[in-house]
């Protein structure tokens, strides 16, 4: 069995809702791995805490946004992964996955990160750091519906949260696929790279047969001891 350290960082529309969303998709991913006989599990290692001083302003066509630069996120995540590996020598783990409520930006000039990149990977030797922004997946009406008092608004809020969770779960499976060598896929598959969120919503929660076979082989191969490779 291979484990992937799992954490999150950022602010959200409500602390209670961030916990619900994060842990529901965490459970959903582990349930997917188990139901599909993949020897892979997320291991929650606590919330990632970054000092507010690391936040930077990025000026975009949509206005100013504040976010943690990718350089800071990946450096802190790498350090967290090393610490977790040292403290958990009894399990196999060389990857860490983080959800962030902030858009993904860089210290460099804007470079369209906010529009074009939802997730990123960074490799440190045999260690892999993954970050997925929750920001692009959030339905635009979700914040407006928060705190709604009538039954209709509460129903729409719950429906919006379910859409949000489903989108994120697909995004998580997409990034996990990349971490095991899968490329983008044109099929009805989470490895598809759609051009709009409507297309993303139409994709099934799972891999096509070809991608699943490739993923299963890669995961099972990675489960061999390093000295036997």
Q: What is the pLDDT of residues 195-218, one digit of tens each?
A: 888 999 999 999 999 999 999 999
List pLDDT tens digits, range 5-59: 999 987 644 556 777 889 999 999 999 999 999 999 999 999 888 776 777 777 7
Task: Tell me what pLDDT residue 109 has.
Answer: 55
Task: Tell me what pLDDT residue 115 has.
Answer: 43
More confident residue, 97 or 125: 97
The predicted model scores a pTM of 0.85
Contact 101, 18 (CB under 8 A): yes
* Sequence-separated (6 or more) residues with CB below 8 Å from residue 176: 4, 29, 40, 97, 130, 215
* Sequence-separated (6 or more) residues with CB below 8 Å from residue 174: 119, 190, 191
For the cut 90, the answer to whether the pLDDT of residue 127 exceeds it is yes
* Domains recognised in the chain with CATH numbers: 2-182 (3.40.390)
42's enclosing H/E stretch is: strand 40-44
Burial class (CB in 10 A: 0-12, 13-18, 19+), 156: middle
The C-alpha atoms of residue 221 and residue 156 are separated, in whole angstroms, by: 44
Contact 181, 218 (CB under 8 A): yes
pLDDT band per the 50, 70, 90 thresholds, residue 129: very high
How many Å from the N-terminal Cα to the C-terminal Cα in the chain?
16
Contact 177, 215 (CB under 8 A): yes
pLDDT band per the 50, 70, 90 thresholds, residue 97: very high
The C-alpha atoms of residue 168 and residue 139 are separated, in whole angstroms, by: 11
């Amino acid at each position: 069995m291979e484990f992937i350290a799992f954490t999150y960082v950022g602010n959200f529309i409500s602390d209670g809702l961030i916990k619900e969303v994060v842990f529901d998709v965490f459970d959903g991913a582990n349930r997917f791995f188990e139901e599909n006989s993949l020897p892979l599990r997320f291991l929650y290692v606590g919330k990632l805490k970054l000092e507010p001083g690391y936040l930077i302003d990025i000026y975009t066509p949509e206005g100013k946004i504040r976010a943690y630069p990718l350089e800071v996120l990946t450096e802190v995540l790498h350090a967290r992964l090393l610490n977790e590996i040292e403290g958990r020598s009894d399990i196999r783990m060389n990857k860490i996955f983080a959800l962030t409520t902030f858009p993904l930006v860089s210290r460099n000039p804007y470079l369209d990160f906010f529009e074009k990149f939802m997730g990123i990977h960074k490799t440190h030797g045999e260690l892999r750091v993954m970050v997925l922004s929750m920001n692009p997946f959030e339905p635009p009406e979700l914040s407006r519906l928060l705190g709604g008092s009538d039954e209709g608004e509460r129903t729409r809020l719950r429906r919006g949260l379910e859409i949000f969770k489903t989108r994120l779960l697909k995004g998580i499976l997409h990034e996990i696929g990349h971490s095991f060598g899968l490329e983008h896929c044109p099929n009805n598959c989470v490895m598809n790279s759609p051009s709009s969120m409507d297309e993303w919503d139409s994709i099934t929660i799972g891999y096509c047969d070809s991608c699943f076979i490739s993923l299963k082989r890669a995961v099972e191969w990675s489960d061999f001891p390093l000295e036997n490779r």
